[in-house]
Amino acid sequence: MSVKVRFAPSPTGKLHVGNVRTALVNWMFAKGQGGAFVLRIDDTDLARSTPEFEQGIEDDLSWLGLVWDERHNQSKRFDRYEEAAARLKASGRLYPAYETADELDRRRKVQLSRGLPPIYDRAALELTDDQKAAYEAEGRRPHWRFKLDGKRVAWEDLSRGHAEVDTASMSDPVLIREDGLFLYTLPSVVDDIDMGITHVIRGEDHVTNTGAQIEIFEALGGPVPSFAHMPLLVGADGQALSKRLGSLSISEMREQGYEPIAITSHLGRIGTSDPLEVGTSIDALGQSFSFSKMGRSPARYDTADLDRLNAQALHVMDYATAQPRLAALNCDLGEPVWNALRPNLQKFSDVVDLERIISGPVTPVVDDPAFAAAALDVLPATLEADAWSVWTAAVKARTGAKGKALFMPLRHILTGQEHGPDMATLVPLIGRERIEKRLGGETA
């Protein structure tokens, strides 16, 4: 069977790390199996969906490298949902209910006070045609509930192993609201059938929903896909990320300077047995993915890990990849400079400040003018690859300084900073003319 998965975001907000982890795992599983990845925009809520958010979803996925094989909009498929609803109504599986939200809330409270589970009591199934007509005359419009079989629904979950849900312990789910709006469940099942989705991969918070959805698949006569319910994301402190997802949107992370491969490596490997290292490519992540590597505990999302992976991605980035971005920042001094600076990058934009160490201007920090004068006096006439070791040996012989007392004053003078790239690499790149000026206390 050819694998086909889908990612179905709603264009009512920005994609955040929780959304993208779901998209990524779907994409990795499909690509690792030689299958297809479907982007399905869940825009049935026409009032809240916007073209701007829809475009943002596409931009974020494309930037991350999660290219889709098919793309659909649910807003263009209302006729199929109406057909499915009509079939379910005709078979008695979709029935009208007229209770208001307040009435349902009061009923739940009464059930709880009696020690009963707060599930819908199916009172609407007892309504006569006259009672329904009376409600309609009052101006009430029904919401439509799917009548569950009330059985144990079992499946072999790719992530959790054997899973069962007792639909007798659930309320009949509402599939269509009073205003005629289709809720997520029915369009999702209809689309999965029509589009040939073979695997539904999502968070473990959907496990209970799966029991009801399997019954809907069966009621519509469609093949039931395989399911995988992943452990959810938590923060480094073990607390749920749900309240913090707004600050973890992919567009904001892009603006903050994170690399796509760092984000996908992080989200694709946390909570698995794979080492938390940056992948060589998004395709390599897909080829190495397996649900057998995924643990059962919540996956910890730690920004410190992402920062480490981001730096790691930059430290191995070759010049050909970096060159267009360097040119855009007006700091392309060639491959030797890039190779010298990249081990010190945390974000790509750091290269601007680091490049300035070489090309200037740098305001030298001269703590001891006599030391600087002595260093200038023994500066080699030509700065070859071994210039730093030759020069520091000469300065040591002239001043008696050694260790930090030798190296740190020279770093302060030449770079104006406490830390930075390897001085042995920097010295030939800075050049004798700028070094002379900086040793003399000039900004150069």
Residues 84 and 170 in one domain: yes
Residues 245 and 265 in one domain: yes
Residues 292 and 335 in one domain: no
For residue 395, what pLDDT is reported?
A: 97
One-letter amino acid for residue 43 of the chain: D
Domain boundary among 359, 380, 415: 359
| CATH code of residue 114 | 3.90.800.10
For residue 201, what pLDDT is reported?
A: 98
Report percent pLDDT > 90 for the chain: 96
Residues 60 and 108 in one domain: no
- 219 located within any domain: no
Chain-centre distance for alpha carbon 36? 20
Selection from 386, 433, 385, 391 nearest residue 411 by Cα: 391
For residue 248, what pLDDT is reported?
A: 86
For residue 84, what pLDDT is reported?
A: 98
Selection from 42, 37, 38, 39 nearest residue 78 by Cα: 42
Q: Does the structure show a pLDDT above 70 at 360? A: yes
* pTM score above 0.85: yes
Residues 88 and 169 in one domain: yes
3-state DSSP assignment of residue 261 = helix
As a whole number of Å, the end-to-end CA separation of the chain is: 66
3-state DSSP assignment of residue 350 = helix
Confidence of residue 236 (pLDDT cuts 50, 70, 90): confident
Give the residue, 78 or 237, on which the prediction is more confident: 78
Selection from 422, 374, 423 nearest residue 397 by Cα: 374
Residues 355 and 406 in one domain: no
Domain boundary among 156, 176, 196: 176
Neighbours of 30 (CB within 10 A): 26
Distance CA 239, CA 232 (A): 11
Q: What is the mean pLDDT of residues 60-66?
A: 98
- 59 located within any domain: yes
One-letter amino acid for residue 438 of the chain: R
One-letter amino acid for residue 213 of the chain: Q
Pairing of strands 36-41, 174-176: unpaired
Domain boundary among 138, 154, 176: 176
Q: Does the structure show a pLDDT above 70 at 245? A: no
Q: What is the mean pLDDT of residues 268-272?
A: 96
For residue 206, what pLDDT is reported?
A: 95
Q: What is the mean pLDDT of residues 97-117?
A: 93
Q: What is the mean pLDDT of residues 357-362?
A: 94
> pLDDT by residue (tens digit) across 21-51?
999 999 999 999 999 999 999 999 999 999 9
One-letter amino acid for residue 317 of the chain: M
Side-chain half-sphere of 320: how many Cα atoms within 13 Å? Answer: 0
Count up the domains in the chain and report the number: 4
Mean pLDDT, rounded, of the chain: 95
- 272 located within any domain: yes
| CATH code of residue 307 | 3.40.50.620
Residues 100 and 161 in one domain: yes
Tokens of 426: 């920097």
> pLDDT by residue (tens digit) across 153-210?
999 999 999 999 999 999 999 999 999 999 999 999 999 999 999 999 999 999 999 9
Residues 333 and 380 in one domain: no
For residue 407, what pLDDT is reported?
A: 97
Q: What is the mean pLDDT of residues 314-342?
A: 96
Residues 345 and 377 in one domain: no
Task: Give me the domain span that covers residue 408.
Answer: 369-439
243 labelled as ligand-binding? yes
- 186 located within any domain: no
One-letter amino acid for residue 347 of the chain: K
For the beta sheet containing 94-97, the strands, ordered from the edge strand earlier in sequence to the opposite edge, are 94-97, 143-146, 174-176
Tokens of 113: 């006070």
Q: What is the mean pLDDT of residues 279-306?
A: 95
- 444 located within any domain: no
Q: Supply the DSSP symbol for 180.
A: S
Q: What is the mean pLDDT of residues 263-290?
A: 96
- 19 located within any domain: yes
Q: Does the structure show a pLDDT above 60 at 246? A: no
